[in-house]
Chains A and B, each alone.
Chain A
């Protein structure tokens, strides 16, 4: 199971990297969200995907899944959600002000 999940995370990283290297700003923003999906999947996988009850004490099971990585992922999800929404608004504002979403034209020589 871990191997499959690792391959899936690897594919998310690959596609995310490809999109970040694209020219259009929207593709770059999508690429960053794909990479954060890959990271969260990796975090879940690295802690081990063993069979066990959900980490709720009311379940009274023999074994539970590890609760720590789930807390880490939850933290990381809200952080990347905040950053992603900021990124989208920034991209929108930049498109309004600068009139382009082409990263080649956003290069700038620092001399204006």
Chain B
């Protein structure tokens, strides 16, 4: 029982509300935003250490006991994700200072940005399924505003589609909540888990779990990613990076939470279904990544492929695979934000997003080129970087449980991911510069190397220092493999 659990949510919330009052004073906006982002990293780090020392921390809002009141739960899994969110959010914010441009800053960019963080962190910490819906909506409404802010034709066109698909999936989420309440009579996740265990997971509950999988799959881009390529290529790079790092991962988190805590009884149906979806998602993602010769599209389809990896780790559901999925999720949030920031800087420097019109950029942007190479290797999972450990554990888990086909697909798609990233690197940075440099080509502001460098260092440190990160990941996997730990923490007395 500690208010520390809700602090990572309150810090951006208070900041966002304060920022509304002086939206024209850009300097003050930036300073307050930066200070709040750094404070939030410290708070989230404190939460991780607190959970490490004292076990799962819970906070009953208003002092009402769990099934009646709303409870916020920080187990290690959620705490690690909150920390990663705070770091990614801070890096994207610092990147935005240099790239977002004054007109957008004047029109409430920073308040929306902080509201987005509120929604994401709230989704990770809540222990109530309707509250999860509300946090999703906070996140989504902020993301609608961020995706359309600026109002270019392309943003308007793509945000209509993004909005529509999310309205439909939110309606389905409420439908699923209605059915859950109708059959089980509770909305608290720990209580739901207990009631499902008592009643036994019959056909109706399995159907409901598949409906929830559909909803979260829409958010996460698990198979249902048709909306994602258009939407994520519309907004400016700082926004696209925060979307790529955080939004789909909230969907992945919700899938992992629901299928490890509540609906884990009928794995022959649900987890096999998730495995098949994961295999299709991985294949489709890498097919997209190798098909296009456009920076946006290559990076976006790599998001899709990575979602497939995490879903595969969940589908295997052994301890090893869940550790791998957790590690990979943390790594992927960092590396996707890093890649989108690098991609944004690259597009700004080259003046185009098409590989055919680029070339020879290593002479103009040597640092950017080598950082992009490191990020690409980290994405694929070359050993000293962070992508390796997660993928290794997932693959080991998959082989141990006899998921040979899907393991094969995941290894093959890693290879194709490498191909797609190397294609990007070689086409953009090697060779000769084209004769007609696009007129919009410009210099990359040196300030953007700070957030990019910080993320690169973290990605490398997470890979080299996996030995230090593993106890935390193992603690997260404890609660994922044994729901009773989570239930006991929430339902004590």
Q: Which positions in A face B, CB cutoff 8 Å?
A: 20, 25, 28, 32, 35-36, 38-40, 42-43, 45-48, 68-69, 72, 75-76, 79-80, 82-83, 86-87, 90-91, 93-94, 97-98, 106, 108, 110, 112
Q: Is B233 an interface residue (CB 8 A)?
A: yes
Residue on A nearest B182 in the bound complex, by CB? A46
CA distance A110 to B168 in the complex (A): 24
CA distance A88 to B141 in the complex (A): 14
Q: Which positions in B face A, CB cutoff 8 Å?
A: 130, 133-134, 137, 141, 144-145, 148, 151, 153-154, 156-160, 163-164, 167-168, 170-171, 174-175, 177-179, 181-182, 187, 229-230, 233, 294, 296-297
Are B178 and A32 interface neighbours, CB within 8 A? no
Are B141 and A108 interface neighbours, CB within 8 A? no
Are B230 and A69 interface neighbours, CB within 8 A? no
Extra pairs beyond A83-B137, A97-B151, A98-B153 (20, CB < 8 Å): A32-B168, A35-B167, A35-B168, A39-B174, A43-B174, A45-B178, A46-B182, A47-B178, A69-B178, A72-B130, A79-B137, A83-B163, A86-B144, A90-B148, A94-B156, A97-B156, A106-B160, A108-B157, A110-B154, A110-B233
Residue on B nearest A108 in the bound complex, by CB? B157
Question: 27 A-B pairs, CB-CB below 8 angstroms?
Answer: A28-B164, A32-B167, A32-B168, A42-B178, A43-B174, A46-B178, A46-B179, A46-B182, A68-B187, A69-B178, A72-B177, A80-B171, A83-B141, A83-B144, A83-B163, A83-B167, A86-B141, A90-B144, A90-B148, A97-B156, A98-B156, A106-B160, A108-B158, A108-B230, A110-B230, A110-B296, A112-B154
- By secondary structure, the B interface counts as helix
Q: With contacts A82-B141, A86-B144 known, is A39 near B167, CB below 8 A?
A: no
- By secondary structure, the A interface counts as helix
Q: How many residue-residue contacts, CB under 8 A, span A and B?
A: 99
A90 vs chain B, min Cβ distance (A): 6
Are A90 and B163 interface neighbours, CB within 8 A? yes
A79 vs chain B, min Cβ distance (A): 5
Residues of A within 8 A of B164 (CB): 20, 28, 32, 87
Residues of A within 8 A of B233 (CB): 110
Q: Which of B156, B170, B178, B296 counts the most A-chain CB atoms under 10 A from its CB?
A: B178
Residue on A nearest B180 in the bound complex, by CB? A46
Interchain residue pairs A-B with the least CB separation, the first 7: A46-B182, A43-B178, A46-B178, A94-B156, A39-B174, A32-B167, A39-B171
Q: With contacts A39-B174, A106-B160, A108-B158 known, is A93 near B151, CB below 8 A?
A: yes
Residues of A within 8 A of B229 (CB): 110
Residues of A within 8 A of B141 (CB): 82-83, 86
CA distance A76 to B178 in the complex (A): 11
Residues of A within 8 A of B163 (CB): 83, 86-87, 90
Residues of A within 8 A of B159 (CB): 90
B181 vs chain A, min Cβ distance (A): 6
Are B144 and A93 interface neighbours, CB within 8 A? no
Residues of B within 8 A of A106 (CB): 157, 160
Are A35 and B171 interface neighbours, CB within 8 A? yes
CA distance A90 to B157 in the complex (A): 9
Residue on B nearest A16 in the bound complex, by CB? B171
Residues of B within 8 A of A36 (CB): 167, 171
Residue on B nearest A82 in the bound complex, by CB? B141
Residue on A nearest B292 in the bound complex, by CB? A110
Q: With contacts A108-B158, A110-B230, A110-B233 known, is A75 near B168, CB below 8 A?
A: no
A69 vs chain B, min Cβ distance (A): 7
CA distance A47 to B187 in the complex (A): 12
Residues of B within 8 A of A110 (CB): 154, 229-230, 233, 294, 296-297
